[in-house]
Amino acid sequence: MLEARDITVFRGERLVLDQVSLSLSAGEAMLLTGPNGAGKSTLMRVLAGLRKPDSGELLWQDRNVFSDRMAYAHNIAYLGHQDALKPGLTLKENLSVFSHGDSLDEAFESFDLRPLADTPVRLFSAGQKRRAALARVILAQAPLWLLDEPSLGLDVHSVDRLGEALRNHRQKGGMIIVTTHVPLPLEDVRHLTLSGVPADEWTGEFTVA
Ligand SMILES: Nc1ncnc2c1ncn2[C@@H]1O[C@H](COP(=O)(O)OP(=O)(O)OP(=O)(O)O)[C@@H](O)[C@H]1O
């Protein structure tokens, strides 16, 4: 089980997350929504153990994540805005680092990547890179998926494939937290909306010469 209690984060002088709490159990999914700048990606980085909150606690199986981040890292698959693939390597070379054999085949199948297996990733389109990054999420075989705008750049067919991957993961007892600005094929999902901490009103004026 994942539990976040009163997570508070400042970026510079600015309060971005103000005592945000959530919890998630096996098989559950949560949709994280809110306007641009509301703090969704910041919260995802905290949940991924990549950023320590200024106050609050993050617990995985009742243990504090930040007291042993390395142990926690084995339990998560985090997809950020960057696809984190090596451009000079082929797709197969990129993904083989994470797995071999059957699981690699399954990951290729999940996002129709077989025809691109021997192509260098630098030649991929934005959507193809996103599909490859999603295949990597599957390969991680981690119980908790943290997906920041996973459908970015995906065509309609690939969004369907994403829906299937999300469903399969939950059926196996996996957990998912996902941010999105567009509808996703995700049933029976809990919602957390970040409204954003209001910035001070900008009081400047433009002068037209
Ligand atoms: N590198 C940074 N340094 C300082 N402040 C930052 C930095 N990156 C983001 N912020 C601030 O943190 C706030 C939250 O950003 P974050 O990326 O978490 O929002 P978001 O909800 O994911 O937005 P979006 O929907 O546009 O992806 C932003 O409003 C911005 O003011």
Is residue 130 within 8 A of residue 150, CB to CB? The reply is: yes
Q: Residue range 139-146: average pLDDT? A: 96
pLDDT at position 202, please? 43
Helices (H) and strands (E) in the chain, counts: 6, 9
Question: Mutation test of ligand 1: which of 42, 50, 149, 178 has the most ligand atoms closer than 8 Å to its C-beta?
Answer: 42
Has residue 199 got a pLDDT over 80? no
Q: Compare 84 and 26 and report the one with higher pLDDT.
A: 26
**DSSP assignment letter at 141:** -
Has residue 24 got a pLDDT over 70? yes
Q: Residue range 158-184: average pLDDT? A: 97
Other beta carbons less than 10 A from residue 122's beta carbon: 12
ipTM above 0.90, yes or no: yes
Which secondary-structure segment (H or E) carries 190? strand 190-193
Q: Residue range 118-145: average pLDDT? A: 96
Quote the CA–CA distance of 44 and 169 in Å, as a whole number: 19
Q: Is 2 in the pocket of ligand 1 (CB under 6 A)?
A: no
Is residue 80 within 8 A of residue 35, CB to CB? The reply is: no
Quote the CA–CA distance of 56 and 42 in Å, as a whole number: 14
Q: Residue range 169-198: average pLDDT? A: 93
Quote the ligand 1 centre to 101 CA distance (angstroms).
39
Quote the ligand 1 centre to 153 CA distance (angstroms).
20
Quote the CA–CA distance of 167 and 188 in Å, as a whole number: 10
Span 46-95, pLDDT tens digits: 999 999 999 999 999 999 999 999 999 999 999 999 988 999 999 999 99
Domains of the chain, first to last: 22-51+65-75+142-209 (3.40.50.300), 87-140 (no CATH)
